[in-house]
Structure 1
Amino acid sequence: MTSFSTDDSIAHASPAALRALIESRRSVRRFTAEPVPDEVVRDCLEMAVLAPSSCNLQPWSFQVIRDPALLKRLVPVCMGQNAAKAPLLIAVLARPDTWREACANILEYWPQEKIPEITRAFYTGKALFQYNQGPLGLLGLFKRQLVRLVGLRKALMRKPNSQAEMRVWAVKSTALAASNLMLAFQSHGYTSCPMEGFDEVRLRKVLDIPRQAIPIMLLAVGRQGERAIYNPRLRFPLEQHVTWL
């Protein structure tokens, strides 16, 4: 059972409980036909969107696919892989196109009666300039030149200053939410498999995906079936990836 303690009003799971949850998550390739209850899906999505995001602009959206006919149409889109036959698929979409609406939403849904002036000024001024790339990316081109000049005198945030950088910006934050989502399902006893193996052109023909949205994965979810994990876990030695300074 997960234990919680309070320190300076911050509740946290024990390291052992968190490690157990993370270690229990595996990419499961075969699922039973048991459906995932809507209340579980909603709870997991609520935990997913607690992930941090750049400037708290939450550049993500999710399409929850439960309809059997639609699920069947997605199997060939995913090139027939077993994981695509799960009773639930969630299209995880990065949204580089929602930054302006998000700036307004920050102020609309601010959790206190009074919005700090520094916050209001940022989301009505600096943020609107920072993420706006302009028609055909021309404003981004101007900002890249401006950054080069101003950056000679002081440190500053140099990105995103192009449409391509906006895509990277949105994908980074959305990947954090996707990680939360997988662990949330795991905590409910449901397994998952993040699939990048799909035909995006065909996916857009099956699902109503906004033009500028980026499908970063189809997440298969369900109860683990038989012969569901293909191989033992393999991770490279930590020393190959970590530098201590």
Structure 2
Amino acid sequence: MTSFPTDETPNTASPAALRALIESRRAVRRFTSEPVPDEVIRDCLELAVLAPNSCNLQPWSFQVVRDPALLAQLHPVCMGQNAARAPLIIAVLARPDTWRQACRNIIEYWPEAEVPARVRSFYSKTAPFQYNQGPLGLFGLLKRQLVRLAGLRKALMRTPNSRADMRLWAVKSTALAAENLILAFQSHGYATCPMEGFDEVRLRRVLDIPRQAMPIMLLAVGRQGEKGIYNPRLRFPLEQQVTWL
């Protein structure tokens, strides 16, 4: 990920408050019928898109489903899961296809009167070269060969240089935004359940999802219902998953 230095000093939140918020989050499978207010949804989406992301290209989009008729159609798409009866479902989409427009957006929406020359150069030259894979991925194939040769002399960024790399690139950033979204709803007192169990073919028949967009989860949101949490929390011992060097 490429970043540009600023003079801003980040604020620090209370570690205890953050721990309490994260520990209170559980995947909830049953919700009440109470709707989620639009102002809460918007606030949470605003926090979601503050997530860190690759080159600030923000390769994500969200479809907010509140319409009862659409929600009813999504329930069988999610194979009848109880969580899919939530009063709100947000389709979280990774967008490997939006990088060109995002490069233009960086210049258009730059928050200062003048766009720094290094920023303009990066998003008009470097980033388009880095993310463009060309027709049928042929430009990516050429870049892989160039990277292989150049990498013999120095360390360099070796991906994304294929369409598969681009999909992974977009999913990584979108997953960070999804976690922000989940914790934001939790902070408002609304439970969530990220669902990966859905039929993507049928999902595309119900929702107008762009062809190259990748649905990475359907996020069910609402007030926790009775017996909404099925099992006690289980996590493997940290020592099995962490190496200290």
Report what 2:92 is aligned to: 92
1:55 corresponds to: 55
What is the distance in 1 between the residues matched to 2:149 and 2:11?
Answer: 45
Q: C-alpha displacement at 1:46, in angstroms?
A: 0.1
Structure 1 gaps of 5+ residues are 1-7
Partner of 2:104: 104
C-alpha displacement at 1:12, in angstroms? 2.2
Give the SS at the match of 1:11: coil
What SS class does the counterpart of residue 64 from structure 1 fall into?
strand
Aligned-pair identity in percent equals 80
Q: In the superposition, relative to structure 1, how do residues 9 and 133 fare at CA in structure 2: closer, same or farther (>3 Å)?
A: closer
Please list the CA deviations of residues 98-119 of structure 1 after superposition, one character each: whole Å capped at 9, or x if unmatched: 0000000001111111111111
1:10 CA drift (Å): 2.8
1:152 aligned to 2:140? no
CA distance in structure 2 between the partners assigned to 1:16 and 1:156 by the alignment: 39
3-state DSSP class of the match of 2:120?
helix
1:41 maps to 41
Q: CA RMSD in A?
A: 0.7
* Matched residue SS, 1:13: coil
Secondary structure in 2 matching 1:136:
helix
Please give the alpha-carbon distance, in whole angstroms, between the structure 1 residues aligned to 2:166 and 2:66. Answer: 31
Q: Within 1, Cα distance between the matches of 2:105 and 2:160?
A: 21
What secondary structure sits across from 2:28 in the alignment? coil
Aligned counterparts, 1:130-169, within 5 A: 130-169=130-169
Give aligned pairs, total. 238
Stretches of structure 2 lacking an aligned partner (at least 5 in a row): 1-7
Scaled by the length of structure 2, the TM-score of the pair is 0.96
Q: Given residue 136 of structure 1, which amino acid in structure 2 is its aligned partner?
A: L
Residue in structure 1 matched with residue 4 of structure 2 by the alignment:
none
Residues 196-232 of structure 1 show CA distances to partners (whole Å, capped at 9, x for unaligned) of 0000000000000000000000000000000000000
**Amino acid paired to 2:176:** L
Measured against aligned partners, the alpha-carbon deviations of 1:3-59 in whole angstroms (never above 9, x if no partner) come to xxxxx7432210000000000000000000000000000000000000010000000
Letter in 2 for 1:235: R
Distance, in Å, in 1 between the alignment partners of 2:220 and 2:143 is 40
> Residues 112-131 of structure 1 correspond to what in structure 2 (within 5 A)?
112-131=112-131
Q: Residue 191 of structure 2 aligns with which residue?
A: 191
Partner of 1:178: 178
